Amino acid sequence: MTVHIGSGLATGGDARVSAVEAALEARDGLGGQHADLAVVFVAGAHVAVAEAVLEGIHEALAPGALVGCGAGGVLGGRREVETGTAVSVWAASLGDGEAESFHAEAEELDGGIAVHGFPDFAGAAGALLIPDPYSFPTDAVLRELAARSPGVPVVGGLASAGQPGGRGALLLHGEDVVEGGAVGVRLDGVEVLPCVSQGAAPVGPELTVTAADGQVITELAGKPALEKLREVILDLPVHERELVARGPLLGVVVGGGKPEYVQGDFLVRGLVGADPDRGTIAVGAPVSPGQVVRLHARDADSADRDLREALGLRREALGGAVPAGALVFTCNGRGRSMFGTSDHDAEAIGDELGDVPQAGFFAAGEIGPVGGESFLHGFTATVGVFPS
């Protein structure tokens, strides 16, 4: 059976009424089929009454599984609502596929953290993950998932709005608002094509790490790391040097062994420190000798180009076919503050994939795979593309 996807967006008004309106709009895209999965994002005043939103979703859509969260802003269709009150609903009829929702919680133990509630991801087609940013160790969990279930793509984002009193706002099937942990979905029998646009462009040459310890790089290409990095920056064209000066980034190749590396092969991380006396630099990711790195720079033009190229690759993977829909997790540092205009990412997705049903939110961190392993990113647009 074919996958059918619909999306709906409602702004302002009564929370329950808005939820019904958005859910009915999403239901229209399902071709008369039942909603196996709903993903719901709630912004503004509606976050404080998220239970009413859930009641409205269940009344209008009665999905088999549901997850979602409070959001600083939401997306629906080609529109982005960065401020104000809104509900965005993404609904899918998965054909022969299945969706299993879950709630995971972290518990501090002597010498570590235990996580409860995760299903076994082995053999899954993919997964959605929406953690609370304050109560869930997302980085550590993603590393463990990569080790236990290699090759399973995980996409999602950190919730970016909570309930009054500092309580989290995660949404789970039924009529529950969960205050902490993470909610998510295991997907089986349905293809998910992850698209990760880190919004940064490579500059300068590729360099091999010749000595490193953890996140500290001691040598690049046989020279003290800081010295070599300065050489590379001085050799850049003036425009690229100015971009790097705003905040240097380092792309680290994940899953090496290729004869040539392209933009999507690099995990982009900020430089978090330098020691002039030792000539070392520190980067926001573990680095090992033999890995290839490259300077990156970020601006609106590079972010636009990177997103469109990444989406174009997904369209090529579909043989030019229009997908059933897209689920979008974009950084709350993007939007108008990055591009100077509204609706940028939503418009780009519509331009490159066709006017597919899409919904999503502005996240406090985005989850998506690079080099076959899923990571937590910043300033990234991560899109789960669902073929028909």
Take residue 197 and report the two structure tokens written for it: 């646009």
| pLDDT classification of 1: cutoffs 50, 70, 90 | low
pLDDT score at 175: 67
Phi, psi of 242 (to 5 degrees): -65, -40
Contact 281, 225 (CB under 8 A): yes
Q: Look at the alpha carbons of 294, 300, 303, 309 in this order and tell me if their dihedral is positive or negative.
A: negative
Contact 217, 269 (CB under 8 A): no
Greatest pairwise CA separation for the chain in angstroms: 67
| pLDDT classification of 191: cutoffs 50, 70, 90 | very high
H/E segment holding residue 131 = strand 126-131
Describe the crossing of helices 15-27 and 50-61 by its angle, rounded to 10 degrees.
Answer: 30
H/E segment holding residue 245 = helix 238-245
Residue 65 has pLDDT above 90, yes or no: yes
Residue 258 has pLDDT above 80, yes or no: no
H/E segment holding residue 142 = helix 138-148
Amino acid identity at 218 = T
Contact 23, 51 (CB under 8 A): no
| pLDDT classification of 261: cutoffs 50, 70, 90 | confident
- One DSSP character per residue, 87-130 reads EEEEEEE-TT-EEEEEEEEEEEETTEEEEE-PPP-TT-SEEEEE
Average pLDDT score over residue span 6-18: 96
What lies within 8 Å, CB to CB, of 169 at 6+ separation is: 42, 47, 50, 69, 70, 159, 161, 162, 163, 177, 179
Average pLDDT score over residue span 204-220: 96
pLDDT score at 57: 96
Residue 64 has pLDDT above 70, yes or no: yes
Secondary structure letter of residue 167 according to DSSP: B
Average pLDDT score over residue span 45-60: 96
Higher pLDDT, residue 260 or 26: 26
Distance, CA of 135 to CA of 141 (rounded, Å): 12
Average pLDDT score over residue span 24-34: 96
Secondary structure letter of residue 308 according to DSSP: H
When the pLDDT of each residue in the chain is averaged and rounded to a whole number, the result is 94
Secondary structure letter of residue 28 according to DSSP: G
Q: Could you read off the pLDDT of 117-159 as tens digits, one per residue?
A: 999 999 999 999 999 999 999 999 999 999 999 999 999 999 9
Distance, CA of 271 to CA of 370 (rounded, Å): 19
Highest mean pLDDT among 173-177, 256-260, 291-295: 291-295
Take residue 278 and report the two structure tokens written for it: 């030792």
Highest mean pLDDT among 117-126, 144-153, 173-182, 210-219: 210-219
Take residue 124 and report the two structure tokens written for it: 């899954």
Instruction: Give the number of other Cβ atoms within 10 Å of residue 122's Cβ.
Output: 9
Contact 350, 78 (CB under 8 A): yes
pLDDT score at 287: 95
pLDDT score at 271: 93
| pLDDT classification of 113: cutoffs 50, 70, 90 | confident
